Chain A
């Protein structure tokens, strides 16, 4: 079964009434009729409508979405799975919410950078997205500020890694908690930086928040060793970092070496950073169809199978939703993100695993 949106939690009485009405609507349910009026009234699957799309920079847009019936909110820093219907086909992606909760108009936002071959990101930059209905998954993620907010904070962000932290900064501003915060943000150029304007305004109007911008095209990338110069008291600060996997790995090592591993909280959406993991690849046999596919050491089983003509279930394609799972009946696979080895007899996600030698999957 394809990936599904979040179930809408209904009050008990309402759920009972809905079940009673199914005697009239069976085998459909009331939802199927409510949808005729507004797709946002779904009680089965959470939906949203893209209200407008705002260009942040040349290659990044903020998407304003009105969530459907009984949206339960989110905490700044969390991410949301969103299913976009593109060319008739539902495509799931996970994006950090860039909006603080709640906006006065009830909308939530995600901010998306265009990538060269990104089906969804290119569509969001096109004319068709505005007004369309999307399916919303569950709000997920542990990358959130604790309550109460730590007295001294350090935000370390790079590129589009700014989005979850932007939500945090917005939330802190609204709650007047911008007390002692250092925010080091790297982007290639100042002009191309997402949210440069808003961050600059907050920096100017709140003495407790200081933004250190680093244009990597001129100044080069920030390395953890620079922290002593840029933010001398970094050891005393609770740190929240979001950016490319390489940056997060380096920070992780630096903090661990300083004995401050639990001070650092990270979020990465670059699930396909291989980090030097050696995977051998091999031939995949799909038991259901008998199709055999050759797979090199960098291609997920799902992609290699589809290229060989196998019909495989898929969902998020990034190891989140477990739609693509199948049982590995022979051989071993490695997780392309972590390098973890999994042996036959377990359920594997085909979208993030790669064969390590010949394998058979019961799909």
Chain B
């Protein structure tokens, strides 16, 4: 965690600092009503830098997590990682949790940054109303006031999607390292292969859901879709996890 935070923490601190400064600059700009045209022209370049930096931060977080995994598992540092008195599932769990945690932190900071800079007062109000409406629809459909369930479902689907994305890459690296030569190229090849396979599996797995679609009830369709997505993601994550730990244990190839 410390190793990863060394780069990602300063990166996100800079993003927060840019957001706070931008927020005050925009607030100051709004008060300059007489020169608003001039102000909006002036703010174009900082906007561009802001979006570029935001994009860079989001990409860097994901890419760095993958590079860190590869270096610490299948690079020189792997000689230490794989000789620690720990089971392979414990090693994989620690890497996965670190990656998911940083992905979530990155997402929250990015969303917070965008909302703080660009949300108007009305948008903040409607954002709050969105959650109230979700609870209302659930009550109308099922007669039970469980405002938290759809939100929890959405968060679970989202978190599992993050985990799935990370575990698929981990699996690709783990298969790639079995190769005696060109391990990264092998991992990239495996990545494309696995994605095609996953597309096929997900298409077959989601088919039963479409046979249950009720065209008069959008809300239950959404809930059904979320539930199906959750189950499929959980299956994919479990498959990737089991295969990765098996290969780490029985096919480790640190030449």
**Do the two chains bind?**
no
Residue numbers of A with Cβ under 8 A of B are none
